[in-house]
Structure 1
Amino acid sequence: LFRDNVMFDGEQLTGFFDFYFAGVDTWLFDLAVCLNDWCIDLPSGMHIGERAMAMLQAYNRVRPLSAAERALLPALLRAGALRFWISRLWDYHLPREAAMLTPHDPRHFERVLRGRVLHPVSLSAIL
């Protein structure tokens, strides 16, 4: 659920698309992917703690994270960043014929991954 796949009318959520791979594995991976997009500084890929705190607190009100999920989230943040770096490298270097497909810059998720490795997110500081 990337921010460029969500539509708003003012502050009202009106729709989202390109969500077909979500919900096919652990929900924690989907949450990590959302955190890696919505809770970072776009130019640098660095984590923004206040956004992550807001997202995780809202998520916990609906579905609290287990102790195991809390322990695994930093690793899944790295895994999510790696997954999208690799898929964007693939799309960039081996483009498919598709009129509507514009490859994203793979360096974006490389920056996110490097940030997650060099500065792991501490959930104790968030939750």
Structure 2
Amino acid sequence: MNKYTDQSDFEINKKVASHYLPCDYNINEHTKTVELICYLGDTDEYNAYATFAPCSNPASAWDLILDAKLSIHPDFNNDCKSWVVRNVHIPMVNETNLARAISIAYLLFKDVENETNNKR
């Protein structure tokens, strides 16, 4: 178990957004979504044009796989009922929801990356 296992998809999505998204976004606590936004002119008003939900959307999770160089395979010890996601720098993540497993592994990878950068 890791520090992200007990967190909701929304909490994980927010953390992934803070590490990954290169664009403006809004955390909508009411709808529990991360909204991709564009500002309307020189105002504080914005338009939400999409959502970012890597825990439930494989299309959002795909770039995380590439960025963290994650490897993925079925959990053969569990009759392939869950997924194993890992790379050489992080502990193995085992979840039934593959997109969620990818998101958690990405956050673990970013934690290791931050620890390494702070030691320099």
**TM-score, length of structure 2 as denominator length:** 0.28
Pick the structure with greater CA Rg.
2
Q: Hey, which of these two has a bigger chunk of strand by percent?
A: 2
Higher relative contact order (CA 8 A, sep 6+): 1
Q: Hey, which of these two has a bigger chunk of helix by percent?
A: 1
